[in-house]
Amino acid sequence: MDIYLLGYMGSGKTTIGQLLAKQIGYDFVDYDQFISQKENASISDVFTAKGEIYFRKKEALYLKELLKETKTKKIVSLGGGTPCYGNNMQDIKDSNVISVYLNVPVTELTRRLWDEKSQRPLIANQESKEALEEFVRKHLFERSFYYNQASKVIKVNGQNESQIVEEIIATLF
């Protein structure tokens, strides 16, 4: 059964997904890269050239496509907003996959994101750590409704990457 990782940006979906896939012998799919390949452009270029509405429609279309693909077992790290738009979370819940929410505290997300904000258009304009933390807190509050519908919730609070992977394995298998 496929495993879909969800959570806010900076929660470690890609890093944990790659490690988990390697450990249990599944393929790994970074959903943002999957969309970029389909669109033949980066996510930020799609947003800039065609707008968010176009992007969200394509995101939903490609998610349905990925959810139906069953040739290989895979770990999919979703984009932070993917479960929060349209019927995406319901589509995930209605599919034969396990969804895992990496629940990282706001202060930890802020710490992680501050160092990489220039590479993340959604937060690039945040001028202080306090402003970034307020943004993350508000955004996470809005998205928590969707994230908490995941099959499993993993509370990330000080564990290293290997410990998180082991916790996911222990929870799922």
Q: What angle do CA 92, 48, 10 make, to 5 degrees?
A: 50
Residue 17 annotated as lining a ligand binding site: no
The DSSP letter of residue 83 is G
Residue 13 annotated as lining a ligand binding site: yes
Residue 56 annotated as lining a ligand binding site: yes
Query: Distances from the Cα of 163 to the Cαs of 47, 79, 115, 154, 169, in angstroms?
Result: 35, 23, 23, 11, 10
Residue 23 annotated as lining a ligand binding site: no
Q: How far apart are CA 83 and CA 6, in angstroms?
A: 8
Residue 163 annotated as lining a ligand binding site: no
Residue 137 annotated as lining a ligand binding site: no
Residue 70 annotated as lining a ligand binding site: no
The answer to whether the beta carbons of residues 108 and 14 sit under 8 Å apart is no
Residue 112 annotated as lining a ligand binding site: no
Residue 30 annotated as lining a ligand binding site: no
28 by Cβ neighbours in 10 Å (0-12 / 13-18 / 19+) ranks as: middle
Residue 10 annotated as lining a ligand binding site: yes
Residue 50 annotated as lining a ligand binding site: no
Q: How far apart are CA 95 and CA 160, in angstroms?
A: 30
Residue 143 annotated as lining a ligand binding site: yes
Q: What angle do CA 66, 28, 52 make, to 5 degrees?
A: 50
Specify binding-site residues for ATP.
10-15, 120, 159
Binding-site residue numbers for substrate are: 32, 56, 80, 143
Q: Please enumerate, by residue number, every residue annotated as part of a binding site.
A: 10-15, 32, 56, 80, 120, 143, 159
Residue set of the binding site for Mg(2+): 14
